[in-house]
Amino acid sequence: MAKFKWRILKPLLFFVFLFFYQLVSAQTSKATLHGYVRDAANGEELIGVTVYFPDLQKGVVTNAYGFYSITVEGGAYNITYSYVGYATVTKNLTLASTTELNIELEEATETMQEVVISAEAADANVTDIAISTEKVDMTQLKNMPAVFGEPDLIKMVQMMPGVITAGEGTSAYFVRGGSADQNLILIDEAPIYDPSHLFGYISVFNSDVIKESQLYKGGIPARYGGRLSSILDVRTIDGNNKTFGGAASIGTLASKAMIEGPIRKDKGSYLLSARRSYADLFLKIAGNENRVYFYDINAKVNWKQSNKDRFFAAGYFGRDAFKLGGVFGFDWGNTTGTFRWNHLFSEKLFSNTTFIASQFDYGLELEDEALGFRWTSVINELSIKQHFNWFITPKNELDFGYNLTYRRFQPGYLQPNVESSIFDGVELEKLYALDHALYIGNKQVVSDKLTMEYGLRLSIFQNVGPGDVKIYADPQDNIRPEVVRVDSYNSLEPIITYYNWEPRFSARYLLNDVSSVKFSYNRMAQNVHLISSGTVPLPFNTWNPSSIYLEPQLADQIAAGYFRNLKENAYEMSFEGFYKHMQHVTDFADNANIFFNDDIATEFRQGDSEAYGFEFQVKKNVGKLTGFINYTWSKTVRTVPGVNLGEPFPSNYDRRNAFNLLASYKLSERWDFTSTFTYSTGRPITLPTGQYQYQYYNPSYITERNGYLLPDYHRMDISAVLVPLKNKNRHMQTKWVFSVYNVYNRKNAFTLYSQDKEVDDQPTGEKEFVMIYLFPIVPSVTFNLSF
């Protein structure tokens, strides 16, 4: 224990030292300018606005809540507020003491675009310290072609460099050699355990209510943690605090409606949005017994008590329900609630306190007199996050905080749903976990050219009681698990505790006005493990905490990149390389039974994974033609004792090449055209090389894991957005989105499996491969309305 304490103390001392050093160096009499930056039209706080002092060549960026603070020597200054897509505002101020300045920015119209081009913010690609970070352009997202015309955030994420997909029709994505469960997906800071609707056709994110979303693939700041490979941080809009408004749309798949407005002008606002699919209504009309639907609801209120205290409450409720043949049903859903309190302790010290509740659950049900049952599984999470953002000097911005999370995993509960059922009620052992995280990180402008961000996160993870823990003679014996004893634990009594230090570091060095090099290293630890051995997680997968049988997964990643802008920032270019080494990645024994298994611990196999690759990106953000080209080359290999005889094998999502293109052309005020093209190497697949007879069965004979590749995947989609001219003169705005998915009707393999060849329903003794492909050419129309 003593040894452990010293291990904690040593790095902490360093930070304490650093902290006081900053304090001392920041003491001279200076003026602090602070405030919020908002959208002039609806009062939404803007995230990532550059507040810049050209005379000093110093600046700061608004944080995730739209707040900024910068301390400079007293004097008269020009200050610019700039943000992509908005008109830059320049203020002339004489700063003597602490000054509060809340700024409203207006969205740039066509004619103002030229002004925006020259704004400082446009060179963020080069000057910002962020490496391996992708921001989703919401306009691009809303205009991009989508299957069934439903614009989807995850589909955009899947096009980003460094991101691999498992194929169309899934919401899973794989970042830099990480598996699908290694992505943390946050909506207003609350985690979403399964982001899929309709098995992944679309995701839970309703694009109408997204304000900002960022994907961190590397150089992950210390305030984020808990998953190895990426953080997708989605923030929803707060609701218009100036006027009442709304939007509605009717699409091929789903319809949605949203209202927003002030509770009191400039003081508080609300937002309510709902979306529902209606395929089930068509099925009903067609006399089909199958039922399929999903819905989601986003609700939010926020209240600005004063410029010092602001409160938000946000909720997300989503659910999918299927019923087949009136007999077999299943459903799943996420529910999250967030309550936030922003408080300014001083003009330099911003505090955010968040309470989060999140639940993911699913159920499977069979309605049958004899075999009827309902099976449910639930994961609950409660957490509190205290985050401080301290704008010490213009050269130092400190982030620090503490997170506490409590999780309850209920892997399975099976109960008969009719009295005549042959089943008894059975419940798998519940699991509990407490997770503490302490972090501190500083962003430091070292010189005109060099900026660094460094931090440290300490994750303390405890698998706690109540519970009975089986101790196995051989924890890997999944045939006849032999329990030597059972240890009982009381509520909150630690079963095992894991400590992990997670250092984070990024640096940016400006080569000149238009180019920079960046470097980052981060270590991440993950203490929740998805119990799934397929390529793509299903909503019916459960999660387990780290335990005596599952060590925390760890990832070390280094990434380096060259960033360059061309033609006065009209083009952004980046080239990044990464190397990632992961330890204790969770895998499963061959033939593992992960479905209602009391001894699931005996199926766990953990090993190493190694990934490396490079990513190339070009973006054009201004002009009539905008878009991006992304290319990724990467390789991922796993070595897991007990899987594939311990030999290295390509991971399920090891796709060597991935190329994505999006081009948007603004033809006129009325018409916008967007086209996307995607190409990637087929995903690895395990195919049989032989077959044999056993009784009346002809099983396939497997000799090699992931030894084959599916055919290459490629597809082109187009969309046209029509904004009618009459919009100009009225409050009500309408928009049509026409899109065609898979324009050249490519048959892309979704999966491939072997089966017995049959002629007239009779097996021939021969076998064959069957390829499943999902979407042929699919046209769709969506009508949008906003007021």
Asked if 768 touches another protein (CB under 8 A), the answer is yes
Site residues for another protein, 397-416, by CB under 8 A, read: 414
Asked if 695 touches another protein (CB under 8 A), the answer is yes
Q: How far is the CB of 753 from another protein (least distance, A)?
A: 4
**Contact (CB, 8 A) for 68 and 81:** no
Q: Which residue has the tokens 């904004």?
A: 723
x/- site string to another protein, residues 738 to 757, per CB under 8 A?
Answer: ---------x--xxxxxxx-
Residue type at 472 in one-letter notation: Y
Measured from the CB atom, is 114 or 598 closer to another protein?
A: 598
Measured from the CB atom, is 203 or 533 closer to another protein?
A: 533
From the list 71-79, 120-128, 385-393, 685-693, the region that binds another protein by CB under 8 A is: 685-693
**Contact (CB, 8 A) for 631 and 616:** yes
Asked if 495 touches another protein (CB under 8 A), the answer is no
Measured from the CB atom, is 494 or 648 closer to another protein?
A: 648
Measured from the CB atom, is 6 or 696 closer to another protein?
A: 696
H/E segment holding residue 130? none
**Contact (CB, 8 A) for 142 and 151:** yes
b vs e for 500-539, b when ≥16 Cβ sit within 10 Å of the residue's Cβ? bebebbbbbebeeebbbbbbbbbbbbbbbbbbbbebbbeb
Asked if 548 touches another protein (CB under 8 A), the answer is no
Asked if 770 touches another protein (CB under 8 A), the answer is yes
Task: Name the pairing type of β-strands 190-191 and 245-250.
Answer: unpaired
**Contact (CB, 8 A) for 37 and 83:** yes
Site residues for another protein, 418-477, by CB under 8 A, read: 420, 422-424, 426
- Which residue among 697, 722, 724, 726 contacts another protein (CB under 8 A)? 697
x/- site string to another protein, residues 474 to 493, per CB under 8 A?
Answer: -----xx-------------
Q: How far is the CB of 487 from another protein (least distance, A)?
A: 22
From the list 82-90, 390-398, 570-578, 687-695, the region that binds another protein by CB under 8 A is: 687-695
Asked if 639 touches another protein (CB under 8 A), the answer is no
Q: Where would I find the H helices in 252-328?
A: 279-285
Asked if 595 touches another protein (CB under 8 A), the answer is yes
Q: Where would I find the H helices in 449-536?
A: none
Collapsed DSSP state (helix, strand, coil) of residue 645: helix
**Contact (CB, 8 A) for 701 and 184:** no
- Which residue among 335, 581, 767, 779 contacts another protein (CB under 8 A)? 767
- Which residue among 158, 652, 680, 719 contacts another protein (CB under 8 A)? 652
Asked if 709 touches another protein (CB under 8 A), the answer is no
Number of residues forming the site for another protein (CB under 8 A):
88
What does the alpha-carbon distance between residue 455 and residue 436 come to, in Å, rounded to a whole number? 17
b vs e for 195-230, b when ≥16 Cβ sit within 10 Å of the residue's Cβ? bbbbebbbbbbbbbbbbbbbbbbbbbbbbbbbbbbb
From the list 31-39, 178-186, 226-234, 321-329, the region that binds another protein by CB under 8 A is: 321-329
Q: How far is the CB of 343 from another protein (least distance, A)?
A: 46
What does the alpha-carbon distance between residue 112 and residue 421 come to, in Å, rounded to a whole number? 70
Of 60, 83, 172, 179, the closest CA to residue 135 belongs to 83
Measured from the CB atom, is 294 or 461 closer to another protein?
A: 294
β-partners of residue 27 are none
Measured from the CB atom, is 595 or 736 closer to another protein?
A: 595
From the list 17-25, 37-45, 211-219, 529-537, the region that binds another protein by CB under 8 A is: 529-537
- Which residue among 85, 534, 642, 682 contacts another protein (CB under 8 A)? 534
391's tokens: 């704008």
Q: How far is the CB of 321 from another protein (least distance, A)?
A: 12
What does the alpha-carbon distance between residue 612 and residue 634 come to, in Å, rounded to a whole number? 6
From the list 236-244, 554-562, 570-578, 692-700, the region that binds another protein by CB under 8 A is: 692-700
